[in-house]
Amino acid sequence: GFAAGNNLAMSMLMHDVEFIWLINNDAVCESGALQALLTRMRNDPGLGAVGSVVLSGDGRKLLAWGGGRVHYLLGISRHVHRKGRLDFITGASMMLRSRALQSVGLFDEWFFLYWEDVDLCVRLRNAGWRLAVAQDSIIRHKEGASFEAFARRDRITSKSRVLFFRKHSHLPIVPVILGMLLRCGLRLLRLCPARAWAVFTATLNTLRTMPLDNPPASLAKPVARF
Query: Per-residue pLDDT for the chain (226 aa), expressed as one digit of tens each?
Result: 889 999 999 999 988 999 999 999 889 999 999 999 999 999 999 999 999 999 999 889 999 999 999 999 999 999 999 999 999 999 999 999 999 999 999 999 999 899 999 999 999 999 999 999 999 999 999 865 545 688 899 999 999 999 999 999 989 999 999 999 999 999 999 999 999 999 999 999 999 888 776 644 444 444 454 4
d(CA 152, CA 220): 25
Separation CA 153–CA 180 (nearest Å): 14
Q: Helices in the chain by DSSP H: which ranges? A: 2-13, 33-43, 98-104, 116-126, 147-168, 173-189, 193-209
The confidence score (pLDDT) of residue 209 equals 86
Of the three residues 124, 141, 158, the one that is the final residue of a domain is: 141
Looking at the fold, whether 156 and 170 belong to one and the same domain comes out as yes
Q: What residue numbers bound the domain in which 17 lies?
A: 2-141
Instruction: Quote the pTM value.
Output: 0.90
Q: What is the DSSP string of 112-130?
A: SSSSHHHHHHHHHHHTT-E
In sequence order, the β-bridge partners of residue 132 are: 50
Give the residue from 109, 141, 173 where a domain finishes: 141
- Does 41 fall in a domain? yes
CATH number at residue 96: 3.90.550.10
